[in-house]
Amino acid sequence: MKKFLASKGILVLLLGLLLLLAACGSSEESSNEESAADDTPEQTEEENEAEETETDTEEEGNEEAGEKLVIGFSQVGAESEWRTANTKSIQDAITDAGHELKFSDAQQKQENQIKAIRSFITQKVDAIVFSPVVETGFETVLQEAKDANIPVFLADRSVDIEDDSLWTTFLGSDFVEEGRKAGNWLVEEMADEEGPVNIVELQGTVGSAPAIDRKEGFEEIIGSEDKFEIIKSQTGDFTRAKGKEVMEAFLKSDGENIDVLYSHNDDMAIGAIQAIEEYGLKPGEDIIIIGVDAVRGAFEAMADGKMNVTIECNPLFGPQLVDLIEQHFAGEELEKRIAVEESMYTMDQAEELLPTREY
Ligand code: GZL
């Protein structure tokens, strides 16, 4: 019995020893963890969160939610007041949010945009912001960005590509709706006119989303009444100089026969206004002037009685765009298409609103 008890005693002792060792081991482990924690700075709430979301966005490289991003921005050019305001809005929003900006002005050339996007890919940026100068011809380079796991955010203009996995989201205006607003204003303005109402049209850049869609929306509305006819339509490439040049040609061929100018942006309308005055007619009276963008120059022309209406196309969406980029890197699912809220402004409002205009 004693032997049994003795052996039991040794066993209990051994067990106790083992338990003691095991307990020491685990506390050693936890103290290792603690010391590891002590070695590294206290994690903030945000950094802890970031660690969780990092696994969600693992496939997008090593950026974490709330961390500094490197953002490549390929902009169309500097062709209009609108574009200048849009560039500033996006650049300021990216840098104000503490991210690094790599900027490229394509001078309205598609090949420059493709080169810029390839360069961003080589530099391994975290995200690409891109306003495509035209709707087609970007599929290959957007596939290259996707293969490099770099999300693309379309800003302002969209692309005509089947595979919408090539971009994360589109943030910009509904250009067709802008065209409809222009058409509806004209239908109302001319309600008491018998007709015919002869319209000349200054189109934006050939192949660009705003030019295609603003034409579509306008024609959808005026097509409902036979008295409206577009007698001439040509691109002014969204610039004042080209708008003036093309309007001079319209006046030369149809001068006294033109009742309305529908211009896809205010800059071309302002160029056309100069041509109309040099021709000897009164813009805003002899020829009704409809523009799009609602830039400061349009408010000045309307305040001078030389332009009748401008449909707003808001360029100041930089902060909203950066929010979307950060939401993406925080692992949030974004809508494929997000439209910017917009209005329209007429001649009688111009004087009062001009001092409030931000662009
Ligand atoms: C519209 C934008 C257009 C503007 C023009 O969102 O793409 O390009 O209407 C600019 O002024 O050139």
Helix segments in 190-286, DSSP class H: 209-222, 240-254, 266-279
For residue 264, the ligand 1 atom closest to its alpha carbon is 9
267: nearest Cα among 108, 103, 91: 108
Residue with CA at minimum distance from ligand 1 atom 6: 156
Residue 316 in contact with residue 333, Cβ under 8 Å?
no
Give me the torsion for CA of 318, 104, 236, 202, rounded to 10°: -20
What's the farthest any 2 CA atoms get from each other in the chain? Answer: 129
- Distance, first Cα to last Cα, the chain: 101
Confidence (pLDDT) at 277: 98
Residue 297 in contact with residue 267, Cβ under 8 Å?
yes
Ligand 1 contact via 79 beta carbon (within 6 Å): yes
Q: How far apart are CA 32 and CA 289, in angstroms?
A: 76
Ligand 1 contact via 214 beta carbon (within 6 Å): no
Distance (Å) from CA 258 to ligand 1 centroid: 25
Confidence (pLDDT) at 278: 98
Residue with CA at minimum distance from ligand 1 atom 8: 83
Q: Which amino acid is at 47?
A: E
Distance (Å) from CA 24 to ligand 1 centroid: 70
**335: DSSP letter:** -
Q: In DSSP terms, which residues pair with 75 in a beta bridge?
A: 105
Domains and CATH numbers, the chain: 68-173+316-339 (3.40.50.2300), 175-313 (3.40.50.2300)
Residue 204 in contact with residue 179, Cβ under 8 Å?
no
Q: How far apart are CA 257 and CA 259, in angstroms?
A: 7
Distance (Å) from CA 265 to ligand 1 centroid: 7
Print pLDDT tens along the chain (359 aa). Answer: 334 344 445 555 655 555 555 444 333 333 333 333 333 334 444 444 333 333 333 444 445 557 899 999 999 999 999 999 999 999 999 999 999 999 999 999 999 999 999 999 999 999 999 999 999 999 999 999 999 999 999 999 999 999 999 999 999 999 999 999 999 999 999 999 999 999 999 999 999 999 999 999 999 999 999 999 999 999 999 999 999 999 999 999 999 999 999 999 999 999 999 999 999 999 999 999 999 999 999 999 999 999 999 999 999 999 999 999 999 999 999 999 999 889 999 999 999 999 999 99
Q: Which amino acid is at 182?
A: A
Total Cβ atoms within 10 A of residue 249: 13
For residue 295, the ligand 1 atom closest to its alpha carbon is 11
Total Cβ atoms within 10 A of residue 116: 22
